[in-house]
Amino acid sequence: MRIIKTKDYEEMSRKAANIIAAQVIAKPDCVLGLATGSTPIGTYKNLVAKYEAGDLDFSEVKTVNLDEYKGLTRENDQSYYYFMHDNLFNHVNIDLANTNLPDGTKEDADAECAAYEALIKSFGGADLQLLGLGHNGHIGFNEPDSHFPVATHCVDLQERTIEANKRFFASIDDVPKQAYTMGIGTIMSAKKILIVVSGEDKADTVAKAFFGPVTPEVPASILQLHADVVLVADEAALSKIPQ
């Protein structure tokens, strides 16, 4: 694993965007695996700026998102569909027909998850998968568990995740309790993984995930076994790693 240490969130966002830009330039029809959450917002802003400067062309890029809340419509401003359009898709020349997220409105979880997994397989996996890191070590919505879930599946969100995400909803009762997420195997099938982390509040999780034992109790720890991972994190997030 390569670690790129940045002084702050802005530098983290710039450096992460540079890595994604390099991927798009090297392979204009690449498959980008994308993530939501507050951490990648700055990365997307930098990608939009590069597009506006005429330095990036998304016209042939395909995307697959990590996850989506079950039960939220696309119009709901807390859906990840809405987030991706708001933060990236509406601001670059991507063909919306090439963008993909699990459909949270599909009631039949098994059918929707199997279809999404098959779609990613048909692409041969993502060329580059962007990830954020949950406070409990989750990636996508793969919560701490006794095993690593392999394929796209429906998860019951943990209390801590519901609690962390409630700031985006009118009340905690409005936070969805389930989500569809790529599995750990789906994520690991990406050729390259880029994980962005910022802030002191994630420092313990970073130390556990990347320097502790590989365990499904800390889902991100599996990334230690991937051959091409870049962690772009600020000083605060790296403040507890062994020196």
Residues contacting 125, CB < 8 A, separation 6+: 31, 186, 189, 190, 191
User: CB of residue 78 vs ligand GLP: minimum separation in angstroms?
Assistant: 11
Q: How many residues does the chain have?
A: 243
> Catalytic annotation on 138?
yes
Applying CB under 6 A, the span of 32-40, 56-64, 70-78, 233-241 interacting with ligand GLP comes to 32-40
**Phi, psi for 195 (deg, rounded to 5):** -115, 130
By CB under 6 A, the count of residues binding ligand GLP is 13
Catalytic residue (choose from 68, 143, 153, 234): 143
Among 15, 33, 67, 232, binds ligand GLP (CB under 6 A): 67
Nearer Cβ to ligand GLP, position 39 or 63? Answer: 39
Among 104, 132, 137, 183, binds ligand GLP (CB under 6 A): 132
Please state, in angstroms and as integers, the Cα–Cα distance from residue 177 to each residue in 28, 30, 37, 50, 112, following that order: 37, 33, 16, 36, 17
Catalytic residue (choose from 136, 142, 165, 234): 136
176 interacts with ligand GLP by CB under 6 A: no
AA letter at 202: K
> Catalytic annotation on 136?
yes
Task: Give the pair of three-digit tokens for residue 204.
Answer: 């313990």
66 interacts with ligand GLP by CB under 6 A: yes
Nearer Cβ to ligand GLP, position 125 or 137? Answer: 137
Binding mask 134-153 for ligand GLP (x = CB under 6 A): x-----xx------------
Positions marked catalytic: 67, 136, 138, 143
Interacting residue ranges for ligand GLP, rule: CB under 6 A: 35-39, 66-67, 132-134, 140-141, 161
